[in-house]
């Protein structure tokens, strides 16, 4: 039934918007940002890796707009496992700080 499909799409959208507990497929689960203690972790909790990726892209973009350059590879050894580099957690604080001007 169409209405069922439509309402579940709507529910999913709302869940994503509110950062709710809608789970993506297991393969898309985050393995690093498993605690919702920051924006990335929250994105992971609501939409798995695809949401986290989107979130990280936004953060990098915002930092750039504020005059600070970050690249995915600067913090992630590769973009398959997203394994963190040694300085990633330290740099992440700078990335968060760069979200707001000055």
The residues of the shown chain that bind ligand HEC, judged by CB under 6 A, are 30-33, 38, 40-41, 44, 49, 52-53, 56-57, 60, 70, 72, 74-76, 82, 84, 88-89, 91-92, 95
Nearer to ligand HEC, 6 or 64 (CB): 64
Torsion of CA 73, 74, 77, 81, to 10 degrees: -60
Nearer to ligand HEC, 19 or 41 (CB): 41
Nearer to ligand HEC, 5 or 25 (CB): 25
Q: How far is the CB of 81 from ligand HEC (least distance, A)?
A: 8
**Which sign does the torsion angle of CA 18, 22, 28, 30 carry?**
positive
* Helix/strand/coil for 76: strand
Q: How far is the CB of 18 from ligand HEC (least distance, A)?
A: 19
Phi, psi of 76 (to 5 degrees): -115, 130
């Amino acid at each position: 039934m169409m209405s069922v499909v439509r309402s579940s799409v709507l529910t999913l959208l709302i869940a994503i918007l509110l950062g709710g507990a809608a789970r993506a497929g297991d393969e898309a689960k985050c393995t690093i940002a498993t605690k919702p203690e920051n924006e990335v972790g929250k994105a992971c909790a609501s939409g798995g890796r695809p949401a986290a990726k989107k979130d990280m892209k936004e953060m990098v973009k915002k930092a750039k707009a504020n005059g600070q350059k970050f690249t995915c590879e600067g913090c992630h050894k590769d973009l398959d496992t997203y394994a963190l580099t040694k300085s990633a957690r330290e740099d992440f604080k700078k990335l968060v700080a760069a979200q707001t001007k000055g």
